[in-house]
Structure 1
Amino acid sequence: MPLTSFDSLDPTVRIRWRVATTPQRLWAGLTEPRMLGLWLGTLTSGSIAPDASFVVDHGGGYACRSTVRSMRTPFSLGYSWRFPDEQDTDVTWGLEEDGDGTVLTMSHAGLGGLSRSYRDGWLTHLTFLEAAVIGHPLPRDMFWPLHGTFAALHPTGTDPA
């Protein structure tokens, strides 16, 4: 796994992940509806574009509403993140070319006590994102088993070194 750094012991989850692809291909994974459906959920309305709002269904109608706050194609993206039963939070993405690959830096801020629960979700989603952008999408039924593996590897109160 190309995880390069990780921290979730405060109200923010921060992950650096190296992917063997171009920034443009990784950007497509973050913003194009078809690609989004391979790793995060189904884009049900809106678009990921400057100042736009969008809704992503994560399964069974459990939808996250977001508004794009910043966007610099293909290097940075920031948007709000709101599930019906949670407070508003912020997700930011940065992409940096690194030789024959791209370093993706993801930050999910404002999580409060939810940072540890989001940790395993983001690690799982990023595994799916990497597989999708390199051309080997993972089957959706692998999501929860992989999520459980991350949770078992890093029990509450611990983070990978």
Structure 2
Amino acid sequence: MPLIDSSLDTAAKRVSISWHLDPSPDRVWWGLTDPEALPQWMGRVISGRFAREETVLIEHAEDYCCTSEILECEPERLIAMTWHFPEEPVSRLRIELTPNGTGTQLVLTHEALGAETGNYLPGWYTHLLYLEAQLAGEPRPMAEFWATYETLAGTGPEP
């Protein structure tokens, strides 16, 4: 696992993760925003596109969608958006990409998570493992997503 650093701040209702990915920022950006790449690690794009002031609807499971308003979008460098699931407060997600040697450092900050803060850190670890596999051309089976999450939530990843 290419985890560089992570933190969970329940008082501030925030998680942050720094992760190294082998591909260049343009390839990582493709994985983060392309409607054909997203189902392999996040969910299926129902509507919208990743551009400033757009609204994107992503189905994470059957009839379970997240709605995001894109607040900032600088291709291959930065995306910031709201993040809203039913029964959860509207939160804010920011992903920054920086070239790092031959690869990319991804810094993810998710804040205003409310009571779900503790569940988001292993959730993002799981999503980033799936993104990494997608970028390597070896997608993990989505049917194993929740088993992977449960493993990470129970023991935590080894840096």
How does the TM-score come out when normalised to structure 1? 0.93
Gaps of 5+ in 1: none
Which of residues 95, 98, 102 in structure 1 aligns to 2:97?
Answer: 95
Superposition deviation, residue 46 in structure 1: 0.9
Gaps of 5+ in 2: none
User: 1:79–1:90: 8 Å Cα contact kept in structure 2?
Assistant: yes
Superposition deviation, residue 134 in structure 1: 1.5
Provide, for residues 106-148 of structure 1, a one-character-per-residue CA deviation record: whole Å limited to 9, x for no partner.
0111012211111111110010001101211111111011101
Give the Cα–Cα distance (whole angstroms) in 1 for the partners of residues 114 and 129 of structure 2: 24
Q: What one-letter code is carried by the residue in structure 2 that aligns with 1:137?
A: P
User: 2:4–2:18: 8 Å Cα contact kept in structure 1?
Assistant: yes
CA RMSD of aligned residues (A): 1.3
Identity over aligned pairs, percent: 32
Q: What one-letter code is carried by the residue in structure 1 that aligns with 2:134?
A: A
User: 1:5–1:15: 8 Å Cα contact kept in structure 2?
Assistant: yes
**Aligned twin of 1:141:** 143
Matches within 5 A, 1:1-161: 1-10=1-10, 11-154=13-156
User: 1:6–1:160: 8 Å Cα contact kept in structure 2?
Assistant: no
Q: What one-letter code is carried by the residue in structure 1 that aligns with 2:3?
A: L
In the TM superposition, structure 1's runs of 4+ consecutive aligned residues that sit over 4 Å from their partners are none
How does the TM-score come out when normalised to structure 2? 0.95
Q: What one-letter code is carried by the residue in structure 2 that aligns with 1:119?
A: L
Tell me the secondary structure at the aligned position of residue 140 of structure 2: coil
Q: What one-letter code is carried by the residue in structure 2 that aligns with 1:37?
A: P
Give the Cα–Cα distance (whole angstroms) in 2 for the partners of residues 56 and 111 of structure 1: 18
